[in-house]
């Protein structure tokens, strides 16, 4: 495959997630949360095994087969992510952010250990072995999940009783937070190696820099969740997180407003700060929307949690997809420092929106208390 085809195969995963997430979230209660969760994992396992044998196909068929299998994997991943988040939120509604921390930590560990384990299996058994091992593991997880998860019937709401999610400003605020967090993680993926070549061009060095983002994200996630669950300050945490991201991205460039050149210290500092800031921006999103629903006295059933999960996942997928494409185009035309500054500007705009939202919310609450 050429570079364009590789980009399409990689990017289609997030595009399918963006399209499917709100749909699956809306109809989750009809399919059944348990069925959607287990079915999604099963589909991921099956498509993963099939993908391991696509390299046996001739070149022209290989691209279309890879594209089709990636679409199936995206559908499966969307199903179990949405259902899993909704079930977790419904089981422990008072600790939604902490649950999200645990899930994000697990995802981060998977992203960290996956390449190492996959590489070892590839060296030992060739292209098929990593996919076979992953697919079989997912099959086992499916059976265990189906046995452990209780098969309670989902609540089905009448259309008139459904929460108007997009009529609430908190939904839009949380969706934008998901979008900009994912965008910030993905915009440098295609160009980071060239950016860091000034310091060290080895692939190991690039991997270590990426690991810094993941590690700081994983370490800070539990603390962020505890703060949000204890103090119920979702918008404030998102404001702080996005404001810190502005600093991290300006240093990462480094932005033309600075006089210093990029160095090992500046990159390490920026990546650690970026991981922490994105944690604070993303973790409160689900809790923020769920709290807004409860404050209005609206229904917070499993169906509602599924719809919230679908909206948040859609924002993440769109941010990742746009980040990869726009990031590469912007770096090619304007350079990495300006591109990083553009993303910092997006965070600055989001921080301003958060601050305005908090001020307006406090202003409307005070007269009611009096």
Give strand ranges (E) for 251-327.
Answer: none
Distance CA 233, CA 238 (A): 9
Can you tell me the distance from the alpha carbon of 358 to that of 40, in angstroms, rounded to the nearest whole number?
38
Residue 3 has pLDDT above 70, yes or no: no
User: Residues 202-224: pLDDT tens digits?
Assistant: 777 887 888 888 888 888 888 88
The pLDDT value recorded for residue 366 is 56
* CA–CA dist 73, 42 (Å, integer): 10
Copy the structure tokens of residue 135. Answer: 């697919």
- pLDDT level of residue 370 (50, 70, 90 thresholds): very low
Would you state the pLDDT for residue 87? Answer: 85
CATH 3.65.10.10 fits 3-149+163-363, yes or no: no
Length of the chain: 370
pLDDT above 90 as % of the chain: 44
The C-alpha atoms of residue 7 and residue 2 are separated, in whole angstroms, by 9
For the segment 215-272, what is each residue's pLDDT rounded down to a tens digit? 888 888 888 888 988 888 999 999 999 999 999 999 999 999 998 899 999 999 999 9
**66-90 pLDDT per residue, tens:** 999 999 999 999 999 999 888 887 7
Report yes or no: 245 and 226 within 8 Å, Cβ to Cβ: no
In this prediction the pTM is: 0.85
Q: What is the pLDDT of residue 234?
A: 92
Residue 104: the pLDDT is 75
**CA 52, CA 131: separation in Å to the nearest integer?**
5
Domain boundaries, the chain: 3-149+163-363
What pLDDT, on the 0 to 100 scale, is given for residue 10? 76
pLDDT tens, 94-126?
777 777 778 877 877 777 777 778 888 888 888
For residue 314, report the phi and psi dihedrals to the nearest 5 degrees: -65, -40
What is the reported pLDDT for 182?
Answer: 94
């Amino acid at each position: 495959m050429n570079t364009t085809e590789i980009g399409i195969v990689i990017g289609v995963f997030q595009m399918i997630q963006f399209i499917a997430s709100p749909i699956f979230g809306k109809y989750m209660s009809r399919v059944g949360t348990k069925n959607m969760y287990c079915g999604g994992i099963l589909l991921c396992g099956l498509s993963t095994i099939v993908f391991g044998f696509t390299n046996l196909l001739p070149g022209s068929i290989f691209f279309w087969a890879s594209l089709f299998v990636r679409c199936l994997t995206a559908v499966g991943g969307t199903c179990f992510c949405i259902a899993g988040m909704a079930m977790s939120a419904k089981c422990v509604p008072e600790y939604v952010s902490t649950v999200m921390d645990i899930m994000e930590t697990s995802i981060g560990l998977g992203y960290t250990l996956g390449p190492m384990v996959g590489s070892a299996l590839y060296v030992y058994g060739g292209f098929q072995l990593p996919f076979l091992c992953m697919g079989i593991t997912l099959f086992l997880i499916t059976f265990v999940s189906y046995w452990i998860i209780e098969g309670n019937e989902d609540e089905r709401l009448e259309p008139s009783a459904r929460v108007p999610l997009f009529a609430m400003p908190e939904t839009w605020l949380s969706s934008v937070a998901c979008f900009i967090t994912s965008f910030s993680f993905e915009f440098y993926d295609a160009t980071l190696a060239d950016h860091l070549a000034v310091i060290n061009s080895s692939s190991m060095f690039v991997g270590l820099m990426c690991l810094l983002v993941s590690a700081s994200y994983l370490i800070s996630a539990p603390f962020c969740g505890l703060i949000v669950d204890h103090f119920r300050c979702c918008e404030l945490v998102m404001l702080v997180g996005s404001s810190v991201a502005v600093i991290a991205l300006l240093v990462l460039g480094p932005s033309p407003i600075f006089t210093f050149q990029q160095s090992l210290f500046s990159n390490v500092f920026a990546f650690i700060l970026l991981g922490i800031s994105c944690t604070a921006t993303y973790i409160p999103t689900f809790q923020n929307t769920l709290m807004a629903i409860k404050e209005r006295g609206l229904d917070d059933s499993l169906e509602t949690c599924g719809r919230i999960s679908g909206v948040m996942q859609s924002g993440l997928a769109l941010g990742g997809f746009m980040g990869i494409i726009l990031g590469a185009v912007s770096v090619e035309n304007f350079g990495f420092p300006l591109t990083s500054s553009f993303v910092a500007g997006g965070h600055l705009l989001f921080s301003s929106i958060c601050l305005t939202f908090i001020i307006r919310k406090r202003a409307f609450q005070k007269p009611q208390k009096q």
